Structure 1
Amino acid sequence: MTALNLASRGIVTPALSLGTDYERLASRFRPIFARIAEGALARERDRSLPYEQIEWLRAAGFGAVRVPVEQGGAGASLPQLIQLLIELAEADSNLPQALRGHFAFVEDRLNAEPGPARDVWFARFVAGELVGNAWTEVGSVAIGDVITRVSRDGGRWVVNGEKYYSTGSIFADWIDVFARREDTGEDVIAAVRARQPGVTHRDDWDGFGQRTTGSGTTTFAAAEVEEIDIIDFATRFKYQTAFYQLVLLAVLAGVGRAALRDISHEVRSRRRIFSHGNAPSFAQDPQVQQVVGQVSSLVFAAEATAVRAAQASQRAYEARFGGDAQAEHEANVDAELDSARGQSVIADLVLRATTLLFNALGASGTSEQKRLDRHWRNARTAASHNPIVFKERIVGDREINGTEPPYVWAIGAGPAAQQKAA
């Protein structure tokens, strides 16, 4: 049921982000994306974290593009957000992943019950405040368990624990921390201020790709959190795992666009040819042109799939306030499945594209100065999140048996590891 239909029945619905003029929206940020792209190779070589580049985006209001227009944001739809993240990922694929936790928290607030608490967060987003991510615990923690705790300390609430893969938190004003309440045992989200004495960030991510996402360790030692910012995890937006995956699909599609940009430039610029080639220049060689055409086609399909996969999540968002529980449920199922389907094919498309580019360049394409291998490394790293084999099995189980997909899952030590440790 649409918001218009509900309004005709006297039911008030919150302002929704249903989309805007994409070209006008993107034109605000494309000059910034171009500046970001200029230094991407140097940051890769030096492993220099993009603090300055994040600040450019913050100042331009990038973090508020999904906030409704009525609340000061741009009112972008989810497919439009994904398209924007693809453009940003072409400039530097580390940045949309660094902002993944922020946009997930924004999405959660978009789905929250309207009221003063939600309005406060919208105002923070519009003011440029960013949110990082701290969910995953490593080591001997049992699967399904949460060691990070939220507890009373006199008259205040504090968070204690350690998280890894805390992507973007090193750049953020707030951190979205998955924790457990000491008093009730309930799982919660604690929105913790990132810049306080009880929070320590370490850039110790050691993956061979996506090196400057700030995806290292965050430690919380009696870090304060306001009671109003302790949010029951049961109220978390239902299509969250689909959303997190969509951002990675945008990262992958953007990597593909960057690879296409670089192979085209390298071919145009190359002056040496092979005696057994087909033209007096690489740029005119039909076989080289064919390789670039293959890469272009693979990237086109990846980008189109990513944007298409986001449509189901947009429907789930709109259904949240549509007054039809069954329609909302079905939309959440579709969101999860479409993100998984997209993951399966986009990873393959972009990994092929980032390998094929070397077929058009020869040995000089492997130069460390050019670091064209970063495109494959970045794609392989982004594609390794949330193992594809499990997602493909989930989709297959749905097609064959009608099994509903899981919406929340965890990682941790299995029974065998726990028995060994004991």
Structure 2
Amino acid sequence: MTATHTRAEADTEKRARYVLAGTGNRGTTMWGQELLEGWNDRVELVGICDLNDMRAERARTMIRSNAPIWTDFNACLAETRPELVIVCTPDDTHDDLIVAALEAGSDVITEKPMTTSPEKIARIRAAEARTGRRVDVSFNYRFAPTSYKIRELLASGAIGTVTSVDFHWYLDTDHGADYFRRWHAFREHSGSLFVHKATHHFDLLNWYLDADPVDVSAFGELRNYGHNGPFRSTRCHDCPHAAECNFYFDMEADDFLWPLYGDPAEVDGYFRDACVFREEIDIPDTMTSTIRYSNGAVVSYSLNTYMPIEGHHIAFNGTGGRIELRQHERQPWEVEPEDRILLTRNFGGGHEVITVPHEPGGHYGGDNRMRDTIFRNRDDPLKQRADSRAGALSVLTGIAALRSADTGRMVTIAEICPGGLDLGLR
């Protein structure tokens, strides 16, 4: 067994003993209930850790587990001695948990983004190298069937050399607003949506192009949420403006979120339904950037968070043609449960519509494929499984974009890499 393999890979008959750190939505579902239901021959949950013990108890019931609950992460590691730790806590806390888990001898799967700063990246990378354990980053978009097909087409040279990419992501007024209700609305916790949300998109670009980002120019403004609101309160629950606010969210009516975040707010004071118009919100909601890559490709990217639609548009322009996708996730009209990739070749080479059916599970089957690759040793010919280097580069791209938006100048990836952060940049 090499240092880059999990212990579960060493003996496929043995179930990996894992600790779940963080019992929010993603931890409770993706890495809790769903993982135990579909991969219980590969994993055994031996500990649940969250600073909020009431939330952890509610999550444990939803997960249908009898694993012990801990509020002290180091004590949890010492007592359970897990082979694997899955980190699903707020982004700015990832590095402390990842490093502690690695030093305790565990491999780690972390939710995206891997972390929020160059210094924290350096801590994680150094601990990984020092301990010989592995960090996986949960980039499930790589595993969606349509993403796989696009990467396959690009690798085959279907459009020659890729010279530019147009990439635009749209969050609707449900999903987009949700980031501004939660801890994500503050740079200190999420690094902004250039880091938290766009880390998915920047990672896709890095993986699609098989190249490293070199420099970034960006704009980012707060145009809809925060101080732009006509009124505000502390939270949606018992808000005096509920009847007139388009963004009012009745969390008490949600049978999943209310048990996790209603009463448990008494323990830690965290409101999952905080007002989207809080004056102190300090992240952009409207973002654009231009990225230049080590292979010469240039990218035009945007992220908007208050659209009437949800989904994305991406187009690859190459010396031999163009690949284009418009993926619909939510919109006020019906679409077929499939994606259509348009492949058009230059010089009369023809036009092809490649249909990719959606698969069951989150992210059109991407969540299941990712868990299969990690826990069932599924073949990975296109290197979808993302390591700490991939996690670092996507975060650094977002950090560079935010810094560019703040300063009005182009920012290089190399200049924000602290000493000792050896990524082998191309």
TM-score by length of 2: 0.26
Query: Highest Rg: 1 or 2?
Result: 1
**More relative contact order, 1 or 2 (CA 8 Å, 6+ apart):** 2
